[in-house]
Amino acid sequence: MKIKKTAILIFANSAQQEAVNKPFSKSSVLFDELNKKTLQKVKRSGLPYFLFSEEEQKGATFGERYTNAIQFVYDQGFENVITVGNDTPQLQTRQLVETAEKLEKNPIILGPSKDGGYYMMGLNKSQFSVETFLKLPWQTSQLTKHISRLLTAKKVKIVFLKILNDIDSISDIKSVLNGFRNIGFTLKQILISLFSSENNTISYSPSFFQNTSEEINFNKGSPLLLPILN
């Protein structure tokens, strides 16, 4: 299948900066491994990519830095941008490739995370609005509800991917360990070590996340995210 000019934007801080941002000890070790894994998965997709750590990011707020990074990729001549972070171990190369393919017929693809945000977004340039992006309540629990209302009002078609966990706290680490097996030996050992260091007891479950639907197409009712709308 011929894919439009699509690039991946890895919007992720260095392990050292994540150690400052994340509320648990030894997080630099974890995010060093997550950064490596994320980059490997992106490279395997075969798509062009840009890595924006804190050194490349421009702006006073998260919203400004994220918006400016997306604008930069569009300024390089790409029609579609797929954005990912570094805190979703479940994200696979296959999902990146499938998202690029879906962008052939859909202006927006979103992979929601359990905390109300999203772990991946595919966005066509025609739907990108700097003004709207900057007004979104970034890094709050109200973000997805806010976006859902915008989407409903604008009647924008959006494709939702399955819900995944990202890692922002020790409880998130437990969820990843209990719910996802294919994370790799090294990463699993780091997660176990981090969880144990917080004096918690790990209880494993071999189950995968139960949401097996690859996508759901609808215009309202879901806690999703979307920085768009002209």
Domain ranges of the chain: 6-166+209-218
Per the CATH hierarchy, to which homologous superfamily does domain 6-166+209-218 belong? Spore Coat Polysaccharide Biosynthesis Protein SpsA; Chain A (3.90.550.10)
pLDDT in tens, 170-223: 666 666 666 656 677 777 777 777 666 664 444 444 443 333 333 333 333 333
**What one-character-per-residue DSSP string does 94-116 give?**
HHHHHHHHHTTT-SEEEEEBTTS
pLDDT in tens, 82-107: 999 998 988 999 999 999 999 999 98
pTM value? 0.79
DSSP H or E stretch at residue 59 = none
Average confidence (pLDDT) over 34-50: 96
pLDDT number for residue 115: 84
Tokens of 171: 């409880």
Distance from C-alpha of 186 to C-alpha of 176, rounded to nearest angstrom: 14
Distance from C-alpha of 36 to C-alpha of 31, rounded to nearest angstrom: 8
